[in-house]
């Protein structure tokens, strides 16, 4: 068993959780094809892309006649605007402990007790940073701030194992064991990130004697976006990941390159079920929809941007090169932090063309994608991005609008876009400028860009991908079932 530094706290929380849950009434089994317990921190109505995949997978399994239960958490800071497509009585939500709360509390008290940092008179902070080979933010911190920052980082690296949702594990395990006592699953399906779900599934599987399957919607220890950890923490998580994968029955992921990588790493057969789109969210009888703007060519980006890794700079360079024609283009970033977009747009002098809007409910985002002229897809232009296939690519396919992809030119999204004639994928600002001019001419001539033919959507429906997982689960559960 993985021995967390919070072992004592975990035991205390487990006792409390079992006390709360053991006396609750159980759920009677319904006798359907398979009994499947899905373990996922994210689930509708919490609006995030991970919840979309897991929520629609649960709906699919129920539609196939399986008896499904969901063990989920209560993610903070997420709007509850995602449609819930299954009976809420099938969802078991548990409380959790925020292991990251202590450093935030200490930081608030620091601002009240300690004086603000003194300025570096006579020498600019950036000059000191250059001499000491430190980030400028470190130089600007006072000594107490630096000590607090170091202590907070050390604390978080210890307690957030396997991740920041570690405080959910004891409650999820306790509630899951109570559920499995009254309703024994044939199989447990854990979707991560966060990868605390794998720890929960592993413990429940050993407790109730059911096999479990690990779904990697993203990478864990190898994730280049979120693994800026000390070497000792990475070694611990690497051992934990390998131990958990050695005990799971099978692995599912979202692209062939990742399947090959996980297969080589863990010595297991890995199945691929890409993200897809749900035709119910993109009804053909409502397409085409009125454009977002009849006068301007609208380019829409829906989702997050990771500074330095998903870079819209080639697009901004192309817009600058358009000259006066730029006034006929509007680029909308939906649900993106303005701090990652506005300064870069100002650097290229195209702020008059760029607009940042707050996030909207999922179905409204889908509607806006169908109304935009062009849909923007950003990827990291690095070998580390190989295999990363964002879910929004398939939403864009469902919307049947032209796609402008920027980033890794030999990645999975680039190949899909080229193979199916869905738009342009490049990192060359000149090619982007030429394509925007072509789209501008087409829009000004006909009033709108035409939709792609419906045939481009064939094979990318979510249910087609989920069917692969269903076949895998039936094969795994067949001997015991």
* 129 exposure class (CB count in 10 Å sphere: 0-12, 13-18, 19+): middle
**What pLDDT was estimated at residue 150?**
74
Q: pLDDT of 423-479, one tens digit each?
A: 999 999 999 999 999 999 999 988 889 999 999 999 999 999 999 999 999 999 887
The shares of helix, strand and coil residues in the chain, as percent rounded to the nearest 5, are: 50, 15, 40
Q: Distance of CA 30 to CAs 27, 65, 79, 184, 375, Å?
A: 9, 10, 32, 11, 44
- Enter the tokens of residue 285: 């009888």
Q: For the sheet with 250-253, list strands across it.
A: 91-93, 67-72, 35-39, 187-192, 212-216, 250-253, 270-272
**What pLDDT was estimated at residue 225?**
82
Structural domains present in the chain:
7-98+162-276+464-477 (3.40.50.2000), 101-159 (no CATH), 279-457 (3.40.50.2000)
**What pLDDT was estimated at residue 149?**
66
Output the CA angle 145-149-155, nearest 5 degrees: 145
Phi, psi of 439 (to 5 degrees): -65, -40
* 268 exposure class (CB count in 10 Å sphere: 0-12, 13-18, 19+): middle
User: DSSP character for 45?
Assistant: T
In this structure, the chain runs to a length of: 481
Sheet strands (E) in 285-418: 297-302, 329-334, 354-357, 374-378, 403-406
Closest C-alpha to 345, from 382, 378, 318, 381? 318
CA distance 470 to 20: 34
**What pLDDT was estimated at residue 322?**
94
Residues of the chain with confidence (pLDDT) below 70 = 1-32, 103, 106-146, 148-149, 480-481
In terms of DSSP bridges, do strands 270-272 and 212-216 run parallel, antiparallel, or are they unpaired? unpaired
**What pLDDT was estimated at residue 21?**
43
């Amino acid at each position: 068993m993985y021995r967390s530094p919070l072992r004592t706290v975990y035991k205390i929380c487990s006792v409390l959780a079992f006390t709360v849950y053991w006396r609750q009434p159980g759920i009677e089994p319904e006798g359907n094809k398979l009994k499947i317990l899905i373990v996922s921190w994210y689930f509708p109505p919490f609006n995030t892309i991970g919840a979309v995949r897991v929520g629609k997978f649960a709906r699919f399994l129920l539609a196939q006649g399986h008896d499904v239960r969901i063990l989920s958490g209560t993610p903070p800071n997420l709007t509850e605007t995602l449609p819930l497509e299954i009976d809420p009585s099938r969802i078991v939500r548990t409380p959790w402990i925020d292991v990251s709360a202590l450093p935030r509390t200490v930081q608030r008290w620091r601002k009240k007790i300690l004086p603000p940092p003194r300025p570096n008179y006579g020498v600019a902070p950036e000059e000191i940073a250059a001499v000491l080979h430190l980030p400028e933010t470190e130089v600007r911190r006072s000594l107490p701030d630096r000590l607090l920052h170091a202590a907070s980082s050390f604390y978080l690296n210890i307690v957030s194992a396997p991740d920041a949702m570690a405080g959910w594990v004891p409650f999820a395990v306790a509630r899951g064991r109570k559920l499995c006592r009254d309703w024994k699953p044939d199989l447990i399906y854990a979707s991560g990130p966060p990868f605390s779900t794998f720890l929960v599934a592993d413990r429940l599987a050993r407790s109730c004697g059911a096999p479990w399957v690990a779904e990697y919607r993203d990478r864990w220890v190898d994730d280049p976006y979120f693994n800026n950890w000390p070497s000792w923490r990475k070694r611990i998580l690497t051992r934990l990941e390998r131990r958990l994968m050695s005990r799971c029955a099978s692995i599912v992921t979202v692209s062939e390159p990742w399947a090959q990588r996980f297969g080589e790493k863990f010595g297991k057969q890995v199945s691929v079920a890409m993200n897809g789109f749900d035709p119910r969210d993109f009804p053909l009888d409502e397409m085409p929809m009125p454009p977002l703007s009849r006068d301007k060519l609208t380019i829409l980006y829906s989702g997050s941007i990771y500074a330095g890794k998903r870079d819209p700079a080639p697009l901004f360079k192309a817009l600058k090169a358009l000259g006066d024609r730029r006034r006929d283009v509007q680029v909308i970033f939906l649900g993106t932090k303005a701090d990652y977009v506005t300064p870069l747009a100002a650097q290229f002098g195209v702020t008059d063309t760029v607009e940042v809007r707050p996030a909207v409910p999922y179905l409204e985002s889908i509607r806006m994608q169908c109304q935009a002229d062009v849909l923007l897809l950003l990827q990291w232009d690095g070998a580390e991005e190989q295999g990363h296939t964002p879910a929004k690519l398939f939403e864009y396919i469902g919307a049947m609008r032209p796609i402008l992809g920027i980033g890794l030119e030999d990645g999975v999204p680039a190949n899909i876009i080229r193979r199916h004639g869905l738009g342009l994928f490049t990192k060359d600002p000149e090619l982007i400028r030429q394509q925007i001019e072509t789209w501008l001419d087409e829009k000004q001539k006909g009033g709108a860009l035409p939709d792609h033919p419906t045939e481009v959507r064939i094979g990318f429906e979510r249910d087609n991908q989920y069917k692969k997982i269903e076949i895998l689960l039936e094969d795994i559960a067949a001997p015991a079932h």
